Amino acid sequence: MIEQFRIPHGPDGVAALVERALRLEPDPAEVRVVIETRHGLLVEALVDAGFTVLPVNPDLVARRRGPARKKDDAEDARICCLIALDRHTTLKTLIPHGEIGGELRAIGRDDERAARDQRRLLNRLRADLQTTYPAALVVAGKDLGAPTVLRLLQRWPTQAELAAASRAELVAFARAGRHGWPDRFADRVADALAAPSLPTRDYLVRAKAAGIRLAAVQLLALHEARHGWEQRMGELLLGGRRTGRDHTGRDHSVEDPDPGKTFPGGDIYLSFPGLGDRLAARVAGEIGEHINAFDSPNGLQCYAGQAPVTRRSGKHDFVVSRRLAHNRYLGDAVHQWAFCSISRSGWAREFYEAKIAAKKSHHNALRALGNRWLEILWHCLTRGVLYDENVHVANRNRALGRAA
């Protein structure tokens, strides 16, 4: 028997849905809920009710529609019901994130969005400075997003205002901002103002001054927020605040670590080359605390969109370079991880250069390298061991038949 009904949006509607399902089946674990998402308040409410939640890709539902492929919510709900009743359909039960994993995932996604906002604002700020404030670009050099430069733009948003500032004011400004060499900073500003530049339009200077100050304020707020998030990421991965770092930046000692507030396997993520606090938190937050949710490395690779899709028919063999259905946040983080690992791992550099020599593009080579890193990560997490470059290189040489 199949029934179709609607519930109102809000807590009352969700409560009515849970109550109606429990009237049909008193054991909540036997209630299978097929839903086209993995996250959200509704998913959390269904999990809290004890139901077996089975997230599916919307394409799976779309493939079971009629020949016209017409989109209809009622028909999609009926298809989801049939999928839930089909015991032969292999669907993975949702294993929800815990509090630590959920916080790590939320912070990682916010940090990734903030990074995009920073790039957008920096590009807009650079364009405005090129037309109205060229001396600021000379002062900034290659680091326009440095806090000292942003505070300078906030205080003196036009070149004329900066030129009116005395050397004592510049030295005091640099010292208040904890600049390492206040006198050198003042000299650099003076040299930038003295350098020849094309004339700027007065009306543009007046029009852009407020925008330059606004962009500087926004970038300073983003910088402060991302710095706080990075510290929190390290605390969640290691269970406490770091006591310090060595010259390699990989000292993971913490003061008063609390195992109950540590992400499972946080030290394993940080043992991989190319994974700092930010990237490790983004990867770990998307994977979650339960690596056993992925039966094999291939399951994790497909979830991240790194595993290639092969189409074989007769004599034809075609490989799709990237899967469309995947966790975009995890895929982007792994792609960045692969890029960062090239300069920190010898075998990763060799692997990347071999792909480039085989006429693969830069991004295809990174995708293949990220696919390999996920396989290693899965094995380390399931066995509970830290990554060791020497062990992996020895295993890799043995598999390739190389001499040690």
pLDDT in tens, 3-33: 778 888 888 888 988 888 888 888 888 888 8
Question: Distance between CA 137 and CA 142 in Å, rounded?
Answer: 8
Residue 345: count of CB within 10 angstroms of its CB? 22
Distances 106 to 100, 229, 283, 285, 339 between C-alpha atoms, Å: 10, 10, 12, 8, 23
Residue 39: count of CB within 10 angstroms of its CB? 14
Q: What is the mean predicted confidence (pLDDT) over 167-189?
A: 91
Q: Using CA of residue 153, residue 157, residue 162, residue 163, what is the dihedral sign?
A: positive
Coil, strand or helix at 272:
coil
Of the listed ranges 16-30, 306-320, 343-357, the least confidently predicted one is 306-320
206: left (phi over 0), alpha (psi -120 to 50) or beta: alpha
Give me the pLDDT at residue 314, please.
66
- Taking the model in full, what pTM does it have? 0.82
Give me the pLDDT at residue 376, please.
95
Q: Above pLDDT 70, what percent of the chain?
A: 90
Q: What is the mean predicted confidence (pLDDT) over 369-382?
A: 94
With a CB cutoff of 8 Å and minimum separation 6, the contacts of 43 are: 35, 37, 53, 55, 94, 96
Give me the pLDDT at residue 217, please.
96
Give me the pLDDT at residue 322, please.
60
Residue 321 has pLDDT above 60, yes or no: no
Of 193, 197, 205, 203, which is closest to residue 158 (Cα–Cα)?
205
Residue 50 has pLDDT above 60, yes or no: yes
Q: What is the mean predicted confidence (pLDDT) over 377-400?
A: 91
Residue 254 has pLDDT above 50, yes or no: yes
Give me the pLDDT at residue 87, please.
65
- Quick: pLDDT tens for 73-94: 888 888 888 888 776 667 788 8
Residue 247 has pLDDT above 60, yes or no: no
Residue 99 has pLDDT above 90, yes or no: no
Give me the pLDDT at residue 246, please.
45
> Which pLDDT band, with edges at 50, 70 and 90, does 358 fall under?
very high
Residue 271 has pLDDT above 60, yes or no: yes
**Rg, Å, the chain Cα set:** 27
Question: Distance between CA 107 and CA 98 in Å, rounded?
Answer: 14
